[in-house]
């Protein structure tokens, strides 16, 4: 392992000073470290001289307000999994995190790290995509808020510059009746997703009709993606056609929109088959939940 200097600021002012002093020399930010430690041992993408640990910046929180929710970027997967408010109001998060890695990893891994690592298979990305999450980014000069769709640029790449950190995730609390599900294909119970599918379905209580659907996929493109064409098809056709035919067409659209690769976990062809199967399963599950 190459040598580097380990730094641990205790305030945002100290963090800003360290960034100003060392950004041109090469810095890397440290959250839970569950991905980074492995990368360091492999000397992967090792182009920094200063490792800045963010642990003492008080970014491990889940704050609930009347119309929105804030999750600090250093909130651990275990804290998300066990949070009472999320269990009752955003169960897609608790169910998703409960299927991620092992308990030991979840005790250290963070929601911010899962996103900033920018793996196409990141489990929390599809749920956050269908929930229209906003991300607050802290730079040297100011804070800014971007949509999660803007955040990912490619495998291992985000819009973050070398001097920026992800500070928190912001979610609006939906007003309509809604449900959201995430299911994934994986080789073992602790493996990353071979394919991940998230669906959010909303219903107008007064009119008793579906008024919104969002569909997102992980591990089938260079970044997690929304399937807008399938969403539009559902809203335009679910009243006209029988449910099964609409779901089958959406599954076909999603498979065609995906651009998977062959790798050690699965072939591209297999991933397309799984997309069809899991899209159908997740939409039917969402429909069932809203009809119960």
Domain boundaries, the chain: 5-56, 57-172, 177-291
End-to-end alpha carbon distance in the chain: 55
Convert the pLDDT of each residue in 130-187 to its tens digit.
Answer: 999 999 999 877 899 999 999 999 999 999 998 999 999 999 999 899 999 999 999 8
Lookup: tokens for 164: 């920026």
Q: What is the mean pLDDT of each run of 10 residues along the chain (292 residues)?
A: 90 94 92 88 79 96 96 98 96 95 95 96 97 94 93 96 96 94 89 95 90 97 98 95 95 97 94 97 96 75
Q: Which fold has domain 57-172?
A: 3.30.465
CATH superfamily of 177-291: CO dehydrogenase flavoprotein, C-terminal domain (3.30.390.50)
5-56 is a CATH 3.30.43 domain: yes
Convert the pLDDT of each residue in 100-120 to its tens digit.
Answer: 999 999 999 999 999 999 999
């Amino acid at each position: 392992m190459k040598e580097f200097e380990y730094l641990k600021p205790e305030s945002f002012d100290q963090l800003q000073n360290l960034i100003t002093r060392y950004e041109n020399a090469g810095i890397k930010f440290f959250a839970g470290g569950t991905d980074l430690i492995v990368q360091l041992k492999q000397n992967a993408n090792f182009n920094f001289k200063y490792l800045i640990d963010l642990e003492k910046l008080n970014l491990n929180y889940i704050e609930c307000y009347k119309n929105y929710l804030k999750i600090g970027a250093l909130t651990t997967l275990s804290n998300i999994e066990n949070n009472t408010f999320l269990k009752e109001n955003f169960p897609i998060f608790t169910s998703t995190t409960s299927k991620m890695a092992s308990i030991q990893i979840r005790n250290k891994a963070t929601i911010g790290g899962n996103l900033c690592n920018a793996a196409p298979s990141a489990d929390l990305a599809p749920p956050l995509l269908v929930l229209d999450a906003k991300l607050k980014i802290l730079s040297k000069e100011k804070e800014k808020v971007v949509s999660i769709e803007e955040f990912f640029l490619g495998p291992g790449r985000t819009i973050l510059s070398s001097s920026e950190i992800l500070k928190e995730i912001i979610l609006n609390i939906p007003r309509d009746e809604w449900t959201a599900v995430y299911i994934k294909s994986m080789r073992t119970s602790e493996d990353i997703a071979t394919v991940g599918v998230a669906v959010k379905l909303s219903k107008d209580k007064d009119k008793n009709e579906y008024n919104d659907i969002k569909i997102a996929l992980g591990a089938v493109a260079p970044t997690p993606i929304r399937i807008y064409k399938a969403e539009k098809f559902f809203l335009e056709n679910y009243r006209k056609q029988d449910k099964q035919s609409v779901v089958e067409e959406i599954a076909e659209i999603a498979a065609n929109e995906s651009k998977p690769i062959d790798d050690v976990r699965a072939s591209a062809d297999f991933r397309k088959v799984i997309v069809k199967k899991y899209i159908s399963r997740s939409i039917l599950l969402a429909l069932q939940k809203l009809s119960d």
